């Protein structure tokens, strides 16, 4: 009988035990559910705040105010604000945010020199058991200055010429004269003019390449720089290049007879070809030859081979050598006004 009674009451006890267990589990989950509901009550504490700073100028520092609202039903206290290397929080107006109120994050951003879209994150963490807030700082970086031309090419410069090129710089903001330094790092080049618009955002520089007659004939490389004082991110750099040539180019450019034994004679014909330029024709009858070669050398007269081409014989006679070793000098072709239009070295090694 007792067994029958126990068997009848067992289902009831089982149901009561199940109800009690559910109640216990429900009570234990109450705190978690409340926190979850609080954390997800508003999108701010569980999601993302985006702050678009719009158009940014490369190399500058900008500040922005980001509003951080509390959309939960409990007070929140800010525990920390984590940042990346480029974007930092300068000030938080309050670390305690009541429900419905908001804090202000004063953000300072060092705009990179790279042009294009940028995006950085701040992570706001709270002391309460709510998810953190991601603050996304974004914007579009523009070059702080537009330069035309983007490189200075004086091209081929003949001796006696002094070409000039203008460089135009347009900035996004006023650039005072007292805060900029301009210089050109190119041999024989200089800044011969500087103008600024009334608004101070348009600058024009005039550059001149003026090599002396003694300058080495080669390709010159350098750059034109305009620097905003005390701001390393504000520098205009314009590559510069120039090629210095004589009006007539000698072929060969360097006359070398090599090793010449005593008693030998040699002759080399040199062609002088005019570099093609829109210039007035030279009076070839007014050309003359000058050289500082030792007596063992001889230089023949200039001969017009064809239009714009001259020929000149250079020889050496070692029938009566005075010394041995390396000897030589230079040959120069001059116009009537003593302007050198071509020059080339001549040498030989006497054995």
Which CATH number is 230's domain given? Answer: 2.60.40.10
132 and 166: one domain?
no
By three-state DSSP, how is residue 120 classified?
A: strand
187 and 137: one domain?
no
Tell how far CA 49 is from the center of its chain: 34
164 and 99: one domain?
no
Looking at 142, 162, 190, the residue that finishes a domain is: 142
Domain that holds residue 286: 248-350
For residue 137, the cross-strand partners are 51, 120
156 and 233: one domain?
yes
From the list 100, 108, 118, 106, the residue with the least C-alpha distance to 45 is: 100
pLDDT in tens, the chain (351 residues): 444 444 445 666 565 666 555 554 454 444 333 333 344 444 446 468 888 988 887 777 888 888 888 888 888 888 888 876 556 555 676 778 888 888 888 888 888 767 788 888 888 888 888 888 888 888 888 777 889 998 999 988 988 889 999 999 988 778 788 888 999 999 999 999 999 887 778 999 999 999 987 888 889 999 999 988 766 667 888 999 999 988 888 888 889 998 888 778 889 999 888 876 656 677 777 888 999 998 889 898 888 877 778 898 999 888 766 667 888 999 998 887 778 888 899 999 988
Stretch (H or E) spanning 338: none
How far apart are alpha carbons 146 and 169 in whole angstroms? 6
Question: For residue 94, which phi and psi values (nearest 5 degrees)?
Answer: -155, 145
Looking at 142, 169, 197, the residue that finishes a domain is: 142
pLDDT of residue 42: 46
155 and 229: one domain?
yes
Query: For residue 7, is it within any domain?
Result: no
How far apart are alpha carbons 169 and 196 in whole angstroms? 9
Structurally, the chain folds into a number of domains equal to 3
Query: For residue 10, is it within any domain?
Result: no
Q: Rounded to two decimals, what is the model's pTM?
A: 0.55
Residue 131 tokens read as 């998810």
Query: For residue 16, is it within any domain?
Result: no
Query: For residue 19, is it within any domain?
Result: no
Q: Report how far apart the first and last C-alpha atoms of the chain are (Å, whole number).
A: 141
For residue 333, the cross-strand partners are 289, 342
């Amino acid at each position: 009988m007792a067994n029958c009674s126990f068997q009848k009451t067992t289902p009831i006890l089982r149901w009561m035990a199940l109800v009690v267990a559910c109640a216990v589990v429900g009570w234990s989950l109450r705190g978690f559910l409340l926190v979850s509901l609080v954390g997800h009550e508003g999108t701010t504490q569980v999601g993302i705040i985006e702050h678009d700073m719009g158009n940014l100028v490369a190399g500058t520092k900008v500040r922005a105010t980001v509003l951080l609202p509390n959309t939960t039903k409990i007070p929140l206290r800010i525990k920390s604000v984590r940042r990346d290397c480029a974007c930092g929080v300068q000030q938080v107006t309050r670390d305690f945010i009541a429900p419905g109120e908001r804090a202000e994050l004063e953000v300072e951003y060092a705009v990179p020199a790279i042009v294009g879209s940028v995006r950085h994150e701040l992570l706001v963490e709270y002391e309460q058991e709510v998810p953190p807030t991601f603050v996304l700082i974004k914007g579009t970086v523009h070059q702080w200055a537009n330069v035309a031309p983007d490189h200075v090419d004086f091209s081929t410069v003949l001796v006696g010429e002094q070409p000039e090129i203008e460089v135009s710089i347009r900035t996004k903001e006023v650039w005072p004269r007292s805060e900029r330094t301009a210089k050109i790092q190119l041999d024989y080049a200089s800044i011969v003019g500087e103008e600024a618009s009334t608004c101070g955002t348009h600058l024009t520089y005039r550059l001149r390449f003026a090599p002396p007659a003694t300058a080495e004939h080669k390709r010159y490389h350098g750059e034109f720089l305009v620097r905003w004082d005390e701001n390393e991110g504000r520098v205009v750099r314009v590559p510069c290049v120039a090629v210095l040539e004589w009006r007539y180019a000698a072929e060969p450019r360097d006359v070398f007879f090599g090793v010449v034994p005593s008693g030998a004679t040699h002759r080399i014909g040199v062609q002088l070809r005019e570099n093609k330029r829109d210039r007035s024709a030279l009076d070839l009858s007014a050309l003359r030859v000058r050289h500082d070669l030792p007596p063992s050398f001889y230089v023949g007269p200039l001969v017009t081979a064809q239009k714009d081409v001259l020929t000149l014989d250079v020889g050496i006679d070692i029938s009566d050598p005075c010394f041995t070793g390396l000897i030589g000098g230079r040959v120069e072709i001059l116009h009537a006004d003593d302007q050198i239009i071509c020059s080339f070295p001549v040498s030989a090694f006497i054995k």
